[in-house]
Each structure stands twice: as C-alpha cells, then as structure tokens.
Amino acid sequence: MLVLTSVLAGCSSSEEEPQAAQKAPETFEMPTYRFDLPPGWRAGIDDNPAAQEGAGFRSDDEYRVHGGISRNPVGLGAAAVASARERIMKIIEGHRGVSNLIEIGEAEPLEFDIYGEEAWRTEARFGSEAPGQSLRMLWVAFQHDGQDYVVTFEGSEPLADRDLSAFEELLRSWEFI
C-alpha cells in the first residue's frame, strides 16, 4: 500500500521586493535521497515493510500520471545486476511476452545524469490499440553508493508534454543525501 502525503517547503519574501512571492518547489525527502516535486504534485512513502526507501508520486489530479521509486542493494537478490544498463535490460526482458504489452523500447542512456550518476531508460505501451485504452510506462535506472534505484512513471496514452517535462524536472532535481 502506498501512502501519499504532501511535503511542503517554505518560501520567504523580502519586504524590499514588491513582486509577488513565488512558491518554492515542494521537496520530498527520504533518508538517502530527495527531489523536488512539480507544482501541485504529491509524494509519499511506500509503507510495505519489504520496500527499502520505496516512495510514490502523482499528479495533482488523482492518478492522471504517477510513478514510484524502488531502492535495492546492488548485486543482491534474484534480479541482481552490475549496472543501470543491466537493470533496464532485465526490465525489458521481464516484460517481453506480457499479454497486454503493445510495444517495448530498447535500453538507452538517459540524456542527463542523475546527480552525477549514469542513468539508463526504456519505455513501454500496455493495453490495446483502441483509442484511450493504452498506457505508457517509463523506467529510469541508476546506481549510487552500492544501491540500485529504479524510478517509474506512467499514464494514459498519449502522455502530455507537460507531464513528461514535469517527470524530467523531478529527475533533474534528484539529490543524494
């Protein structure tokens, strides 16, 4: 079960500045990482005891778009991998043959690093070819300090450019603590 909460970051305004105060981005923080939420988005901690710093986030209008974060020690468990690229390859392999898979992309490097760490991505479409009956899912994988991170993002097709841009902003704001 995923528990969603809003995490607010304060903002201050100087009396010398007559312009309207801009709202500071909301920051979601876990013990080893934090990121800024797009305006109006929410995030929360995955309360599943098996989740290691698992979290979720979603758009401001319920579940138009949403995603999640998982963190696992590198090289442990059945899905052990040595690199972010290998993690994406395992995700691709694990989804081939899924009954509602329409298409799945190849592993490709993300166009930017996640807080200095190399990141890889792929995406897939699930559902049917009928209008409004498919969803698109993106995976981004990276490693840091012996941990394997996977961030997912999904929504109904077609994903709006503003949602894709918001997801990119979230990833670009990522920091390790």
Percent of the chain with pLDDT strictly greater than 70: 80
Which helix (H) or strand (E) covers residue 161, if one does? helix 161-172
More confident position, 80 or 104:
104
pLDDT at residue number 46: 79
pLDDT at residue number 164: 94
- Which pLDDT band holds residue 77 (cuts at 50, 70, 90)? low
Residues 136 and 152: beta-carbon distance below 8 Å: no
Residue 176 has pLDDT above 90, yes or no: yes
Task: Tell me how far apart the alpha carbons of residues 175 and 177 are, in angstroms, rounded to a whole number.
Answer: 6
- The torsion angles phi and psi of 96, rounded to 5 degrees, stand at -65, 135
pLDDT at residue number 129: 86
Query: For 138-175, how does the pLDDT look when each residue is reduced to its tens digit (9 = 90+)?
Result: 999 999 998 889 999 999 988 999 999 999 999 999 99
Read off the pTM: 0.81
Query: For 124-138, how does the pLDDT look when each residue is reduced to its tens digit (9 = 90+)?
Result: 999 998 888 999 999
pLDDT at residue number 54: 83
pLDDT at residue number 151: 95
Query: For 51-73, how does the pLDDT look when each residue is reduced to its tens digit (9 = 90+)?
Result: 677 898 988 776 678 999 988 77
DSSP states along 43-108: EEEB--TT-SS-EEEE-SSTTSEEEEEEEEETT-STT--SSHHHHHHHHHHHHTT-TTEEEE---E
Residues 149 and 70: beta-carbon distance below 8 Å: yes
Domain boundaries, the chain: 26-176
* CATH architecture label of 26-176: 3-Layer(aba) Sandwich (3.40)
